[in-house]
Amino acid sequence: MRITVHGAAGDVTGSAYLVETSSARVMLDYGLFQGGKKEERLNRRRPTFDPKSIDAVVLTHAHLDHTGRLPMLVRQGFAGPVFATRATVELCDILLRDSAFIQEMDAERAARKNGGHVPDEDRPLYEIEDVELTMSRCRGVGYDEPVEVAQGVTARWIDAGHILGSASVELTIEDAGTTKTVVFSGDIGPRDVPLLRDPIRPEHADLVFLESTYGDRDHRSVDASIEQLAGIINEARKPGGRVLIPSFAVGRTQRLVYELGEMMRDGVIPSTEVVVDSPMATRTTDLYRRHRPLFDEEAWEIIDAGEAPLDFPSLRFTLGPDDSKALNGVGGGVVIISASGMCTGGRIRHHLRHSLPKPETHVVFVGFQARGTLGRLLVDGRKEIKMFGKILEVEAQIHTLGGFSAHAGQTELVEWMTYLQAHTPRVLLTHGENGPRRDLAKKLDQRWGLKAAMPELGEIVEL
Ligand SMILES: [Zn+2]
């Protein structure tokens, strides 16, 4: 048996692993490479395997960097089932549709620029029909229920606490009389944060693929971030004041809604108008609310007290573009949560265009800002930016809060290995840039005496 690494090797996007035995071929995640032109080219590369020969796909969670190439695989002839937790299947429906829609819009824009012709590099990777076909192949499974996904390959999903439905996947692989256990960490969430349950630490494996997104550092504390956010919201209560929070629609927005509700329920801030202005964030929040059996104890204490963890009286969701535009006239401390999280698209850009030149505006960044994005320019303190073809002076106050990350920090990644390390498995670090991978490898050696390897893109791991 062997496993080929088809993405997220020395990078944080494009997660994909092909598991092969003499009788089965299973793809574990099939994510989009995201970032710039180089990543775009990787998405368009012909696969080095035959998509028709894959028996099944297994997903850790719905984020596009783990699922976003799946409709391409289907388009190229993959005809088997896709296994994922039930919440992941529902989230994939939202995320993959949105991904296809954005690609189709981009292609239309490119066609307008090029006299009706769409250049090769702007062609959509897939369309809505491909997503629909992909979704028809999805089979929702529960946590901790072993499922034989292909001949001799059994998968079990273990809560990873990263986003709703997220899991680490344990594969038990039988081939030619031997059995091996491989654990794919997926993305691991932080511990002791509310709403989602803490990641579960797996107990046994011969081989572990461990994510290393924040392999080089620990996050600032949640309490400090909440205190800072409360201060900003109170400061913005002046005439004309407003708080803009660019936020990822899936996961981060729901966490913010939870925290803001708690701040009001606990009297940390007075009742404050909070508006979620992103159709995808609205649909996702609704989905989270329907999956409350997956919530943690803290969220259930709120439910048991007769309240809703993802709701409060002064929260509302915009209905359409007109409702969104009307927010320009609202001031006096309103909090607007809108996507995209790095300000590369979505309605947040219209709010920024309107409010960045105003010193009463506070822009609060709660997530990672990649190089080359508008979000990164603002975080880096740029005083003039170009938007919609115009130069804008940045007079707004820019803040960065580190405590709302959906990823485990370095110490938590090391401690996630607590039980696994007892059997001295082979450890391969993926889903992280090389700096963080090296730092995490060092820590794993110091703490557990484990020598972790750092596979390259296309590397084959023999078992
Ligand atoms: Zn993720």
CA of 391 to the centre of ligand 1 (A): 34
Domain residue extents for the chain: 2-217+406-462, 222-400
CA distance 400 to 85: 33
Average pLDDT over residues 95-121: 91
Average pLDDT over residues 229-250: 95
pLDDT band at 351 (very low <50, low <70, confident <90, very high): very high
Task: Give 307-331 pLDDT, tens digit per residue.
Answer: 999 999 999 999 888 999 999 888 7
Interval 369-384: pLDDT, tens: 877 789 989 999 999 9
For range 379-396, the mean pLDDT: 94
Tell me which architecture the domain covering 2-217+406-462 has in CATH: 4-Layer Sandwich (3.60)
Residue 215 CA to ligand 1 center (angstroms) comes to 15
The predicted structure's pLDDT at residue 34: 84
pLDDT the model gives residue 265: 95
Region 120-148 average pLDDT:
96
Q: What is the pLDDT of residue 77?
A: 97
- pLDDT tens, position by position, 6-16: 999 988 889 99
Most confident of 115-129, 288-302, 361-375: 288-302
pLDDT, position 447: 98
Q: What's the mean pLDDT in 336-360?
A: 93
Residues near ion ligand 1 (CB < 5 Å) are 63, 187
The arithmetic mean of pLDDT across residues 88-100, rounded, is 96
- Adjacent-strand bridge partners of 4: 18, 460
Q: What is the mean pLDDT of residues 215-225?
A: 91
Rounded Cα distance, 275 and 328, in Å: 12
174 CA distance to ligand 1 middle (Å): 29
From ligand 1's centre to the CA of 374, what distance in Å? 21
Instruction: Report residue 356 as tokens.
Output: 């960045």
Tell how strand 426-430 and strand 207-211 pair up.
Answer: parallel
425 in Cβ contact with 207 (< 8 Å)? yes
DSSP 49-105: S-GGG--EEE-S---HHHHTTHHHHHHTT--S-EEEEHHHHHHHHHHHHHHHHHHHH
Section 44-61 average pLDDT? 96
Torsion (CA) 417, 421, 427, 432 in degrees, nearest 10 = 20
- Distance between Cα 237 and ligand 1 center (Å): 34
The alpha carbon of 160 and the centre of ligand 1 are apart by a number of angstroms equal to 10
pTM of the entire structure? 0.93
pLDDT of 425 above 80: yes
What the block records as the tokens of 274 is 């909070």
pLDDT at 285 (0 to 100): 97
The alpha carbon of 139 and the centre of ligand 1 are apart by a number of angstroms equal to 20
Mean pLDDT for all residues in the chain: 95
Between the CA of 59 and the centroid of ligand 1 the distance, in Å, is: 11
| pLDDT 10s digits, 327-342 | 988 878 999 999 989 9
> 352: helix, coil or strand?
helix
Share of the chain above pLDDT 70, in %: 100
Fold entry, domain 222-400: Rossmann fold (3.40.50)
Looking at residue 402, its pLDDT comes to: 84
Of the CA atoms within 13 Å of residue 455, those in its CB half-sphere come to: 26
Distance CA 112, CA 119 (A): 11
Distance 390 CA to ligand 1 centre (A): 34
